[in-house]
Amino acid sequence: MIYRKLGRSGIEASVVGFGAWAIGGWMWGGSDEKQAIKAIHAAVDAGLTLIDTAPMYGFGASEEIVGKAIRDCRDKVVLATKCGLIWHKEQGDFFFMSDEKERTANGDRKIYRCGAADTIRYEVEQSLKRLKTDYIDLYQTHWQDPTTPIANTMQTLLELKKEGKIRAIGCCNADPAQLADYCDAGQLDVDQELYSMLDRKQDRQNLPFVIENDMAFLAYSPLGQGLLTGKIGPDRVFNTGDLRNTKPRFSVENRQRVQELLALFHKIADRLGLSLSQLAIGWTIAQPGCSHALVGARTVEQVLENVGGGAAHLPAEDIREINEALATVGKDIE
Ligand SMILES: NC(=O)c1ccc[n+]([C@@H]2O[C@H](COP(=O)([O-])OP(=O)(O)OC[C@H]3O[C@@H](n4cnc5c(N)ncnc54)[C@H](OP(=O)(O)O)[C@@H]3O)[C@@H](O)[C@H]2O)c1
């Protein structure tokens, strides 16, 4: 496993992070807590230190599971969670109704994007309780709230850092102008964005900013939510409520197009002694400015395979071959 800096925070974390969205269950058609805890233990034992969760992942369920899993190994983990998406009150910018994504037994909730001081202070205390810890290593705004100036949000985060509740500050789902607003107000160490072989917008958008400002870049959904593993063929059926049931990316036609691309990648992966998942992870962390890949997993087997991606070294000519395939065979893939 390779370890890289989280910006200028002084914290180092494994290049492969454990993405804890799916284990929260909601939008992923449920989850198995025991299996998830075993997966986290296997990850930590294999040298993975970065764990990324959020209150929104199962309305606290993911944080609860992570908290239980790391109780005996808190000091080995770089714990990342988020704020700025709330459902406990109506404040900020209305984002969506929870039932639109997946119904839960607790009824329909109104989700707001909110970066106000009082709600962030409420959220951090809730997260600390669920995670069973007294500090968060990396605290990130989950989505950007157009009703609160970023300078005000950053002010609150800087106060939390001074108080020792958080150690580093990051943001997600931001554009370069928003990143600049954060940096104007204080030290922003991390940007977390959608990035994979199939999602390359950030090559031109945020990655140049991140490089220029000595920040870490955490790629989320680097396996295209499973599609790049080669294990989601046209016949795979997802559980009720799994977000992949309604995404055009997972239409049968698109899955067939992906199979053609993956047939080319198979040859490269075989040459390098890697699985397709490891090739996708290795490619992701080899892209300029992309320091870490947050990989979602639910089982020990998935984790152990993905950890191997953190040690993958892709020679420049293989990266060129992959990029050529993405630009040709991959160009019509959703
Ligand atoms: N900041 C944000 O707004 C944001 C948004 C999205 C994600 N994220 C973060 O990024 C993390 C990763 O993103 P993601 O979960 O959306 O997508 P991902 O990492 O691209 O894909 C995760 C899914 O791929 C499948 N998978 C993983 N490893 C596998 C393996 N070795 N073999 C076969 N299948 C495998 C699993 O699905 P099955 O088990 O169902 O097959 C898993 O749930 C999240 O957990 C979260 O921490 C952040």
Q: What is the pLDDT of residues 56-71, one digit of tens each?
A: 999 999 999 999 999 9
Largest alpha-carbon pair distance within the chain? 54
Q: For residue 80, what are the CA distances in angstroms to 13, 139, 141, 166, 264?
A: 11, 6, 11, 9, 35
User: Each residue of 17-27: pLDDT tens digit?
Assistant: 999 999 999 99
Whole-angstrom Cα Rg for the chain? 19
pLDDT at residue 282 greater than cutoff 90:
yes
Q: Best mutation site among 78, 221, 235 for ligand 1, i.e. most ligand atoms within 8 A of its Cβ?
A: 221
Nearest-CA residue for ligand 1 atom 21 is: 225
pLDDT at 309: 97
pLDDT at 274: 98
Would you say 123 and 83 are in contact if contact means Cβ atoms under 8 Å apart? yes
Q: Is the dihedral of CA 8, 11, 15, 18 positive or negative?
A: negative
pLDDT at residue 233 greater than cutoff 90:
no
pLDDT at 234: 86
pLDDT at 91: 98
pLDDT at 331: 87
Average pLDDT, the chain: 97
Cα 295 to Cα 191: distance, rounded to the nearest angstrom: 16
Cα 15 to Cα 20: distance, rounded to the nearest angstrom: 15
Residue 147 alpha carbon to ligand 1 centre in Å = 30
Pocket around ligand 1 at a 6 A CB cut-off: 19-22, 52, 142, 172-173, 192, 220-226, 229, 231, 277, 294-298, 302, 305-306
- Confidence at 158, pLDDT banded by 50, 70, 90: very high
pTM: 0.97
pLDDT at residue 36 greater than cutoff 90:
yes
pLDDT at 170: 98
Q: Which domains does the chain have, with CATH numbers?
A: 3-233+277-312 (3.20.20.100)
Would you say 297 and 306 are in contact if contact means Cβ atoms under 8 Å apart? yes
- Confidence at 332, pLDDT banded by 50, 70, 90: confident
Stretch 137-153: mean pLDDT: 98
Task: Choose the catalytic residue: 57, 112, 139, 182.
Answer: 57
Stretch 37-47: mean pLDDT: 98
pLDDT at 146: 98
- Sort 164 into a burial class: Cβ within 10 Å, 0-12 / 13-18 / 19+: exposed
Percent of the chain with pLDDT over 70: 100
Stretch 125-143: mean pLDDT: 98
Stretch 282-311: mean pLDDT: 97
pLDDT at residue 283 greater than cutoff 90:
yes
Stretch 44-63: mean pLDDT: 98
Would you say 303 and 277 are in contact if contact means Cβ atoms under 8 Å apart? no
